[in-house]
Structure 1
């Protein structure tokens, strides 16, 4: 009997298992080579079980992006709660969530999703919409040119991390984070 038939029904746990498997496969082989069969096998779930949660590859990638954006939103909200200074609060939270010396939370999943974002127009539209919504939501506190510069720098650091193009010693990363934090107050 397969693992899927022995497991108690836990739909959210199965869904997370599928998302983890999809992220791992995207990271290892690229989003272009991601197949539903491969995800089901890697997660130890029947293809029917996968199709119950994600009827196609696009839905699976959407689910992965939704999950990551929810986690990013939660990390940003948490960081904002502990910041007493309104000006630049969102920018500092974004910096804290996305550029952490030693690696951001969910780094492997974000690397996989970034690769998928590069190749999937629908995912790019959804990400752009999230960025635009954040800009509108925080326009009263984070519209300064310095805050915008910090967010662009964070995005560049994130992309450099995804592409593994820039080796950065931890002390250098801490120095960059401190300087970007300083700019967010301007």
Structure 2
């Protein structure tokens, strides 16, 4: 009998391991490198074991996107808990989370690959649209002002500029820009 028959099954850990390998492949080689064979080989999980958790590449990519969104949501929630002012709390948390991605290269790389996928994958684009709509509805009473919307759109612009490394902004200028956006969001 093989060792696989003797080891204790831990499906949650195996699923997480597969997602981590898919994320690493995405970061190192791009989305096209994420194939079922590549993830299976790099994780040491049989292809059958992989297919048990993710029956298709799309299911794997969807789960990877969900995992990133869950981490992003947890980060936003933690930032909001630490912010005592309800007005524009979500907007400030969103801005800070997006801005801080620049200082977290691993997380930023994951989001960069997923952002590229958002442009070409309608189902992921719809999932992002749904997330944005859900959060907008959740915080309609505190974060629906024009100023809050301007700050979130500016945050998205910063995110894109950071991801593409398209703008050379001096650190002092960046801090001033972020401070002005936080002021606009009622900081």
TM score, norm. by length of structure 2: 0.87
Deviation of the 1:82 alpha carbon: 1.2
2:94 counterpart of 1:94: yes
1:112 maps to 2:90: no
Q: Structure 2: which 5+ runs fail to align?
A: none
Judge which range, 96-105 or 56-65, deviates more: 96-105
- What does residue 60 of structure 1 align with? 60
Aligned residue pairs, count: 185
What pairs up with 1:164-179 in 2 under 5 angstroms?
164-179=165-180
State which structure, 1 or 2, has the greater radius of gyration over its C-alpha atoms: 2
Q: Quote the residue 1:159 is aligned against.
A: 160
Whether 1:70 and 2:80 are equivalent positions in the alignment is no
Aligned Cα root-mean-square deviation (Å): 2.5
Of 25-34 and 94-103, deviating more is 25-34
Taking a change above 3 Å as real, the CA distance of residues 53 and 86 of structure 1, as seen in their structure-2 partners, is: same
Query: Is contact 1:24-1:108 (8 Å) kept?
Result: no
Deviation string 1:86-107 (CA, Å, 9 cap, x unpaired) is 1110001111222115237722
Answer with 10-19 or 82-91: which moved more.
Answer: 10-19
8 Å contact from structure 1 (residues 4, 44) kept in 2? no
Distance 2:94 2:105 in 1: 11
The equivalent of 2:12 in structure 1 is 12
Instruction: State the shift of 1:30 in Å.
Output: 2.9
What's the TM-score once normalised by structure 1's chain length? 0.87
Mark the runs of 5 or more structure 1 residues left unpaired by the alignment: none
Gap change, CA 1:55 and 1:39, over 3 Å in 2: same
**Which range moved further: 13-22 or 59-68?**
13-22
Q: 1:50: which partner in 2?
A: 50
Pair 1:169–1:46, CA change in 2 (3 A): farther
Distance 1:63 1:183 in 2: 35
